[in-house]
């Protein structure tokens, strides 16, 4: 069974209420969506989005008891404003983004997300995405590949790994790629497989994940009603940095450099930070779901513009 990360913290943080409207931008197997619908009974509504049609199939089954309080659409969360408008919604009372991939996707060998399972090097969240991980690995130039591994995987051995990839091409499966990386940079680092960063980097590049996070944050704040909350769970430092910096900036009234005595930027805070420091999984959650270990939850609340 798929377990939602920081479930209790997300539901307590969003404070769903009957009659409220909520968006789950990353519905996945529908765990957080279930909690939001349950605690906004009897009249709260939820719009659930996911790029992955197979995730929505699972969510539809899990959430069927909520009937017409649930609206599910296959779409990227960057489309949330349009989709909300399509179903007749204006401002909403809460939005959750649980970034990255689900354990359902990770465990499905045919999706090619995991080096643990032999499968094609695919890694797309939806089949409409024009490139696969195999396209990048086998068609990317050395500079392109090194850039991807360094920027999206923070992999310091990027150049060495790329050299090995070029020598081994074509590489068509997850375990072929994992073996090439492991042979280049050695065995496990602690309990982290040496190919972890390479796989993360390729997945982010294939799905344009960081661009999507950068785009969705201002859109989501724009869609919130005053008092509405945005909760974001990130799983690696690249994502968390984007979320943290955006929240800090939007919670400040003036962004002028300190030497500027009089404000010229006229920036006004649009949110207040509910979590000054990110929430992380409890000991109990870490024990029962070790995959939650890198999760960080940040929450902001929309305020009235001064």
Ligand X SMILES: C[S@@+](CC[C@H](N)C(=O)[O-])C[C@H]1O[C@@H](n2cnc3c(N)ncnc32)[C@H](O)[C@@H]1O
Which positions lie near ligand X, rule CB under 6 A?
2, 4, 25-26, 28-32, 49-52, 55, 76-77, 98, 100-102, 125, 212
Instruction: Tell me the closest approach of the beta carbon of residue 178 to ligand X, in angstroms.
Output: 22
**Which element (helix H / strand E) includes 296?**
strand 296-302
Nearer to ligand X, 111 or 164 (CB): 111
SS3 of residue 199 by DSSP? helix
| CB closer to ligand X, 32 vs 298 | 32
DSSP for 228-288 reads EEEEEEE-SHHHHHHHHHHHHHHT-S--S-TT-SS--S-----EEES-SS-B---HHHHHH
CA distance 97 to 4: 12
Quote the least distance from Cβ 208 to ligand X, whole Å.
8
CB-nearer residue toward ligand X: 45 or 52 = 52
Nearest Cα to 76, choosing from 33, 38, 23, 122? 23
DSSP state of 27: -
Least separation in angstroms between CB 270 and ligand X: 22
Residue with smaller CB distance to ligand X, 101 or 299: 101
Taking each helix axis from N to C end, the angle separating 174-185 and 158-168, rounded to the nearest 10 degrees, works out to 130
CB of 153 to ligand X, least distance (A): 17
CB of 67 to ligand X, least distance (A): 20
Which uninterrupted H or E stretch holds 300? strand 296-302
Q: Which is nearer to ligand X, 73 or 151 (CB)?
A: 73
C-beta of 226: minimal distance to ligand X in Å?
Answer: 25
Q: Radius of gyration over alpha carbons of the chain, in Å?
A: 20
**With respect to ligand X, which residue has the nearer C-beta, 176 or 280?**
280
Question: Do 69 and 77 meet the contact criterion of CB atoms below 8 Å apart?
Answer: no
């Amino acid at each position: 069974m798929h377990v939602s990360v920081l479930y209790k913290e997300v539901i307590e943080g969003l404070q769903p209420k009957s009659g409220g409207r909520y968006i789950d931008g990353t519905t996945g197997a529908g765990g957080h969506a279930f909690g939001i619908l349950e605690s906004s009974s009897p009249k709260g509504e939820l719009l659930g989005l996911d790029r992955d049609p197979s995730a929505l199939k699972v969510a539809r089954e899990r959430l069927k008891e909520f009937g017409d309080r649930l609206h599910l659409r296959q779409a990227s969360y960057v489309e949330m404003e349009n989709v909300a408008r399509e179903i007749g919604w204006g401002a909403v009372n809460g939005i959750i983004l649980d970034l990255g991939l689900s354990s359902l996707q990770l465990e499905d060998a045919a999706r090619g997300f995991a080096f643990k399972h032999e499968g094609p090097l695919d890694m797309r969240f939806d089949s409409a995405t024009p490139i696969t991980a195999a396209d990048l690995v086998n068609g990317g130039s050395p500079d392109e590949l090194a850039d991807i591994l360094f920027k999206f995987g923070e992999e310091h051995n990027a150049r060495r790994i790329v050299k090995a990839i070029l020598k081994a091409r074509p590489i068509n499966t997850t375990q072929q790629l994992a073996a090439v990386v492991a042979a280049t940079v050695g065995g496990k680092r602690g309990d982290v497989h040496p190919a972890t960063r390479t796989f993360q980097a390729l997945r982010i590049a294939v799905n344009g994940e960081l661009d999507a996070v950068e785009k969705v944050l201002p859109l989501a704040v724009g869609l919130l009603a005053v008092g509405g909350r945005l909760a974001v769970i990130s799983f690696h430092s690249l994502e968390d940095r984007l979320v943290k910096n955006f929240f800090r900036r939007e919670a400040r009234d003036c962004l002028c450099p300190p030497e500027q005595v009089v404000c010229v930027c006229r920036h006004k805070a649009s949110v207040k930070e509910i979590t000054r420091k990110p929430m992380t999984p409890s000991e109990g959650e870490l024990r029962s779901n070790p995959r939650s270990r890198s999760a960080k939850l940040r929450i902001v609340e929309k305020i009235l513009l001064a």
